[in-house]
């Protein structure tokens, strides 16, 4: 049915989410720990039920505009179409191997367009820094002497370029396999503050980005929607037409 709906011969579904397991979830400094406690057991109660405690921005997750900007949309004010987007992938693994603080520039975006064509309108721009390969070790956190995570991200002018050129219109997303679309050392969160307006969201701590092509796929983003929520842990899937 999905193949017929999309007009393709087949669809490959790729999970972009890390799994939750106690002791194997990396947390942004100061965020609550993931916990799972049994409530009911099959042999005693006839069914299994667990109580799960997790921060909105723990593990693979999405962030709502209200996460950084007063008056912008909270989780319950987003629309279903905000979570189903065409996707593109920018690979900076080579640069990130040499520079933990590598910031994707406007020149990088222009080079991507020269190689792969214009960015789709209102899309999800995903960044493969290689950090997903570090999960779930402490190398993922990559904390400096001051306890600040160090990881690549987008430069503020690159995020603004994507907004001004329509790739991030009234809706869209910046995605990354690291903690944030900002470089980790930017404690002003300039990229996040520019991104989180209108109905634009962030997709963070993504997995399996090496399995994606530069373009030609769609993202389907799940999670729970809480009133006035600032985000949610997420199951995120990439849908690729089979060739």
pLDDT averaged over every residue in the chain:
95
Tell which residue, 112, 120, 116, 208, has the closest CA to residue 154: 112
- Write down the pLDDT at residue 1: 42
Sketch the domain layout of the chain as residue ranges: 8-18+56-241
| Cβ proximity of 73 and 63 under 8 Å | no
| Cβ proximity of 151 and 184 under 8 Å | yes
| Cβ proximity of 216 and 241 under 8 Å | yes
What are the tens digits of pLDDT across the range 96-131? 999 999 999 999 999 999 999 999 999 999 999 999
- Write down the pLDDT at residue 115: 98
Task: Select the more confidently predicted residue: 186 or 7.
Answer: 186
What pTM value is reported for the model? 0.94
- Write down the pLDDT at residue 9: 72
Q: Which residues of 175-189 are buried (b: 16+ CB within 10 A; e: fewer)?
A: bbbbbbbbbbebeeb
What are the tens digits of pLDDT across the range 27-55? 999 999 999 999 999 999 999 999 999 99
- Write down the pLDDT at residue 242: 85
| Cβ proximity of 177 and 52 under 8 Å | no
Is it the case that residue 197 has pLDDT exceeding 60? yes
- Write down the pLDDT at residue 3: 53
Is it the case that residue 63 has pLDDT exceeding 80? yes
**Where does the chain have alpha helices with state H?**
2-6, 42-45, 93-98, 106-116, 138-141, 156-164, 190-195
What are the tens digits of pLDDT across the range 140-162? 999 999 999 999 999 999 999 99
CA dist 183 and 128 (Å) reads 13
What is 8-18+56-241's CATH number, 3.50.30.50, 3.20.20.70, 3.30.200.20, 3.40.190.10?
Answer: 3.50.30.50
Is it the case that residue 95 has pLDDT exceeding 60? yes
Is it the case that residue 4 has pLDDT exceeding 90? no
Which tokens sit at 140? 């993922």
Angle between helices 106-116 and 156-164 (to 10 degrees): 50
Is it the case that residue 2 has pLDDT exceeding 80? no
| Cβ proximity of 131 and 178 under 8 Å | yes
Q: Please report which confidence band the pLDDT of residue 8 belongs to, taking 50, 70 and 90 as the band edges.
A: low
Angle at 198 between CA 193 and CA 203, to 5 degrees: 60
Is it the case that residue 90 has pLDDT exceeding 70? yes
């Amino acid at each position: 049915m999905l193949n017929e709906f999309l007009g393709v011969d087949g669809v490959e579904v790729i999970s972009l989410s890390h799994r939750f397991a106690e002791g194997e979830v990396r947390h942004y400094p100061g965020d609550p720990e993931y916990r799972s406690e049994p409530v009911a057991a099959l042999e005693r109660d006839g069914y299994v039920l667990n109580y799960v405690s997790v921060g909105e921005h723990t593990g693979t997750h999405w962030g709502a505009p209200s996460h950084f900007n007063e008056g912008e949309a909270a989780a319950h004010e987003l629309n279903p179409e905000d979570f189903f987007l065409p996707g593109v992938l920018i690979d900076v693994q080579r640069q990130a191997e040499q520079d933990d603080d590598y910031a994707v520039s406007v020149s990088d975006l222009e080079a991507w367009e020269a190689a792969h064509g214009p960015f789709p309108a209102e899309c999800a721009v995903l960044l493969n820094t290689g950090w997903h390969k570090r999960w779930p070790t402490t190398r993922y956190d990559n904390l400096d002497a001051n306890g600040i995570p160090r990881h690549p991200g987008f430069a503020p002018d690159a995020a603004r370029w994507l907004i001004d050129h329509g790739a991030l219109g009234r809706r869209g997303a910046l995605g990354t396999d690291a903690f944030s679309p900002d470089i980790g050392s930017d404690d002003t969160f300039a990229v996040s503050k520019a991104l989180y307006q209108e109905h634009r969201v962030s997709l963070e701590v993504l997995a399996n980005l090496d399995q994606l092509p530069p373009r030609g796929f769609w993202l389907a983003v799940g999670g729970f929607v809480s009133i006035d929520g600032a985000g949610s842990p997420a199951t995120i899937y990439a849908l690729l037409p089979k060739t």
